[in-house]
Chains A and B, each alone.
Chain A
Amino acid sequence: MGAEENRYAFNSNTFDMDGVEIPFKDGQTIMDAALAAGIYIPHLCHHPGLTPHGSCKLCMVDIGNKCMSSCTTPAVAGQQVSNNTPVLNEARKTITQLLFIEGNHLCPSCEKTGNCTLQAMAYFLGMLDGHFPQFFQRREVDASHLTVMLDRDRCILCELCVRASREVDGKNVFAIAGRGVTAHLVVNSPSGKLADSDLETSDMAAHICPVGAILIKEHGYEIPIGRRTFDLHQVGEIGLEKVIQAKARHTNE
């Protein structure tokens, strides 16, 4: 037995990703183990601490020539995983393009621009255009709530707000309804309007949206260009969630 194999014999709870040995705890996903080891796997719908969702597919990695979502796949000792490869990053770019053309992502007029994780992902992957024909969908804007508004045109159905509301806020404000391309975010209130829900700006759900779909009213364009999250950071930095969440909260909400 060579030294190479020996290593696994001594420490069985590691897997190999792009040639780096990554330790994991039993039951941990590839995503969580990689993040804990300080290695970035592109992701949009994953958020540490929330139940994995597996909808964005940005986090797919190659495991023995099989493409798997690393946010939902448990790590297995000795696994060979590829993550940062040109082929995977090209596929991730295509997925990002699909997210852009499926909604109305007119960044020049979006309040989230510069602070948007989807946009930062597109920069990270070098996306120049949407490539596919635009859907130009029309989805309902809900501006009924006093302090929070919902622009469904930009929603990427990541369910972060759904999960944050259920799992952290202990409410159940959001859900996804509809099928296929008509799937959309709904509000669980009798009228279906945000105003009639118990959403508050102190909720995690009000701030977790990675795009400009859930916005806090009367707080537009407050951060100067050059100081926005992704003017200062790139999406691949580990532990950026804290920075993003801190920035999303306004002093006088």
Chain B
Amino acid sequence: MSKLRIATTSLAGCFGCHMSFLDMDERLVEFLEHVEFDRSPLNDIKNCGPCDIGLVEGGLCNGDNVHVLREFRANCRVLIAVGACAINGGVPAMRNHFDLSACLEESYLNGIGVENPQIPYDAELPLLLDKVHPIHEVVRVDYYLPGCPPSPEEFMSVLGDLLEGREPVLPKKLLHYD
């Protein structure tokens, strides 16, 4: 049986969903017999190629996030929004209560302990979006894996279904948003 290719990325994420994925612990060893990784923070591949599954943690907070998300959607057969941030913006979306300029001014100009106050403007830096958005507002999402983060059991359940060619169905007892 040929291996499934999986790409993973963290947009406006905290890497907690990736850590929870790794919390599969020794079960990862068996898992890796059935999958291989395309672009992921766990390896050195720079761009996402054609894949079976894309796991996206984090919402969208800057231009680069949108670019990466579109690359994933273009290449992944099944795209999964992983974790609260990808699903509804998550805790980072609390900044949507404030003007972007107010956030930047607080962080880079007026914040306690700021030295040489200036808002970073180098062209290398991706511009922040006005608001944080869930990923389904920009691309089509095939499946959602809730939780902040989802438990390793949730990853196993959904990826297990996909590995066996089934439509994923998350058992209700694994469902949580926190």
Contact = CB atoms under 8 A, between A and B. Distances in A.
Q: Report which residue of B96, B141, B170, B178 has the largest number of chain A beta carbons within 10 angstroms of its beta carbon.
A: B178
A106 B146 contact: no
B94 A122 contact: no
Contacts of A126: 170, 172, 175
Contacts, number: 69
Nearest to A113: B178
B88 A130 contact: yes
A108 B178 contact: yes
A122 B176 CA distance: 9
Nearest to A122: B177
Interface of A is mostly: loop
A38 B139 CA distance: 44
B136 interface: yes
A174 interface: no
B178 A128 contact: no
Given A106-B93, A107-B148, A129 B88 contact: yes
A186 B133 CA distance: 29
A133 B137 contact: yes
Interface string A77-102: 00000000000000000000000110
A128 B144 contact: yes
A108 B145 CA distance: 14
Interface residues of B, number: 28
B97 A119 contact: no
B13 interface: no
Contact of B146 (A124, A128, A134): A128
Interface string B72-97: 00000000010010011111011011
A105 B148 contact: no
Interface of B: 81, 84, 87-91, 93-94, 96-97, 131, 133-134, 136-137, 141, 143-146, 148, 170, 172, 175-178
Among all A-B residue pairs, the 8 with the closest Cβ atoms: A108-B148, A128-B144, A107-B177, A129-B144, A113-B178, A136-B96, A107-B178, A129-B87
23 contacts: A104-B93, A104-B94, A106-B88, A106-B93, A107-B148, A108-B90, A108-B148, A108-B177, A109-B91, A122-B177, A124-B172, A126-B170, A128-B87, A129-B88, A129-B136, A133-B137, A134-B88, A134-B93, A134-B133, A134-B137, A136-B93, A136-B131, A138-B97
